[in-house]
Chain A
């Protein structure tokens, strides 16, 4: 395994959250978000490390450094996959405050199920996204007071 360079700041910071999310739902409704191309999705799922990232982040929010340990690849390789997953809407980016005033960027799987339906001469697919967890929203909201 190559020696990882110092943690790279991710290119795009998490969008700011506001308290209204809790009551009005996220500003971008996941149910109306366009599903990415089938080839994009299948290309992602074909990658073993992508599957590891999704599986690991579905259990708990994890940083890129932790994910690089879990996958056994460099952090830059993790960031490449994380960026593609985030663009496809399969992974969410969050910030976790640290006691020293800085914050860690952590990732949470946003996909729960992928379904391919072949029926009546049509091939259709859907991505079921994870609903935002009440406990996470409460934690975020409480930290904002």
Chain B
């Protein structure tokens, strides 16, 4: 945490929280789409959005908290960073798979 720029930190945190909330909102709507329309592609879209935005955000917040309160050493920062990146990749893979499912089930015209 850079103490010299608290405003920048605050704004970055607010933007990250906003992204997480909107990502989770889209994931929630995808989940509702799954329930309402029995569309399996929406399962992976929902899971992907939740991993990509919700889980990574939670992990980043928890990681920052653990480091800030000296529960773990600063060296763990890279571990958390790696985990977040891996989860981002996993979320995107889920969304790509969902897209593939949706395209495969597309109704031919006519």
A interface residues, Cβ below 8 angstroms from B: 60-61, 95-97, 99, 101-103, 133-136, 138-139, 142-145
Is there contact, CB below 8 Å, between A101 and B107? yes
Q: How far apart are the CA atoms of A37 and B103 in the complex, in Å?
A: 42
User: CB-CB < 8 A to B35: which residues of A?
Assistant: 135
Known: A134-B29, A135-B30, A138-B26. A60 touches B36 (CB 8 A): yes
Binds A, one of B39-47, B51-59, B72-80: B39-47
Known: A134-B29, A145-B99. A139 touches B36 (CB 8 A): yes
Closest 8 CB pairs of A and B: A135-B32, A139-B33, A135-B33, A135-B29, A139-B37, A143-B102, A97-B105, A103-B107
A82 to chain B, nearest CB (A): 19
Known: A99-B105, A101-B107, A101-B108. A142 touches B45 (CB 8 A): yes
B9 in the interface, Cβ–Cβ < 8 Å?
Answer: no
User: CB-CB < 8 A to B102: which residues of A?
Assistant: 142-143, 145
Q: How far apart are the CA atoms of A101 and B108 in the complex, in Å?
A: 7
Q: How far apart are the CA atoms of A126 and B33 in the complex, in Å?
A: 29
Total count of chain B residues near the partner, CB < 8 A: 23
Is there contact, CB below 8 Å, between A138 and B30? yes
Question: 29 interchain pairs (CB within 8 A)?
Answer: A61-B36, A61-B37, A97-B106, A101-B108, A102-B107, A103-B107, A133-B32, A133-B36, A134-B32, A135-B29, A135-B30, A135-B36, A136-B36, A138-B30, A138-B42, A139-B33, A139-B34, A139-B36, A139-B39, A142-B42, A142-B45, A142-B98, A142-B102, A143-B39, A143-B41, A143-B102, A143-B106, A145-B99, A145-B102
What number of A-B contacts does a CB cutoff of 8 Å give? 60
Is there contact, CB below 8 Å, between A96 and B106? no
Is there contact, CB below 8 Å, between A139 and B106? no
Q: Which of B31, B32, B41 contacts A142 (CB 8 A)?
A: B41
Q: Which of A60, A134, A143, A145 has the most CB of B within 10 A?
A: A143
Q: Which of A95, A103, A139 has the most CB of B within 10 A?
A: A139
Is there contact, CB below 8 Å, between A143 and B29? no
B31 to chain A, nearest CB (A): 8
Q: Which of B34, B38, B42 contacts A96 (CB 8 A)?
A: B38
